[in-house]
Amino acid sequence: MASDRAKALAEKQRADAKAIREAKKHSDNPEDWGMWRQLSATVKMVRDVDQKGFWILIGVVAGIIVVAEVVGIIIGHWIQGLIWGVLLAASAFLLLLGRLGRNSAYKRSQGQPGYAQVALMMLNKKKWSYTPAIEVNRQQDSVHRVVGPGGLILVGDGDANRVKPLLVNARRRHEGISYDAEVIVVSAGDGAEQVPVEQLADYIKRLPKTLTETQIQELESRIKALDAMRGRLPLPKGPLPNMKANRRAIRGR
């Protein structure tokens, strides 16, 4: 009886594991994708959004391989030349693809509601966490919340004048639970007093490190309680940028 139960349990575990593999295989959540699928998605995005950059990428890869092979032939080691060419080309491909992927991500999502999320998705998830659209108006301007070593950052996303009252309201709510954490307000956009979305991730990373990991955890607990009391606002209607598919590639991983 014990043996039968063990066999049944093992069979169930194998079935569950197979079901998980199948679910990931057909999943539209990029976090379930493997490296090759993520790279493929990034290459496709670059090809669709930045054709010039795409052909530069192809040219650089091909050029490195050709040059390395020519050098290998000249010195009488064409096989080694080919191997080194492929290795160098692969490294150059990943580095250049990361840069092109980031630029394409911004180009593809520019002008859409929630555009600033593209920059926030490029932050290191081990250090920073963000919550989209904690404040939204009828024009789909919004405020996103970022928590990390630099403190509690409220990011206004949209028209500078319309997003200002949203930021004031969000700041008032969060100052009550921030305690020793500084509440930083920044408006993302192309206005005179705004931070361009393309520079937003670097702007946040450069903020002075004022919180320890313990303080961040305590702050996130208080924020969770705040959200539970107030209730989360629904996301604005319309397309929001979804850059999860290319998160690993656009970070240069």
Do 65 and 81 fall into the same domain? yes
Do 103 and 123 fall into the same domain? no
Query: Nearest Cα to 141, choosing from 156, 155, 158?
Result: 158
Least confident of 16-20, 100-104, 125-129, 224-228: 16-20
Q: What would the pLDDT profile of 149-199 be if each residue is shown by its tens digit?
A: 999 999 999 999 999 999 999 999 999 999 888 899 999 988 888 999 999
Do 222 and 182 fall into the same domain? yes
- Domains in the chain, number: 2
Do 98 and 149 fall into the same domain? no
Do 54 and 138 fall into the same domain? no
Do 155 and 213 fall into the same domain? yes
Do 83 and 143 fall into the same domain? no
Q: What is the pTM (predicted TM-score) of this model?
A: 0.72
Instruction: Decide if 71 contacts 81 (C-beta within 8 A).
Output: yes
Do 98 and 125 fall into the same domain? no
Give the residue from 79, 109, 139 where a domain finishes.
109
Do 220 and 131 fall into the same domain? yes
9 in a domain, yes or no?
A: no
The range of the structural domain enclosing residue 47 comes to 33-109
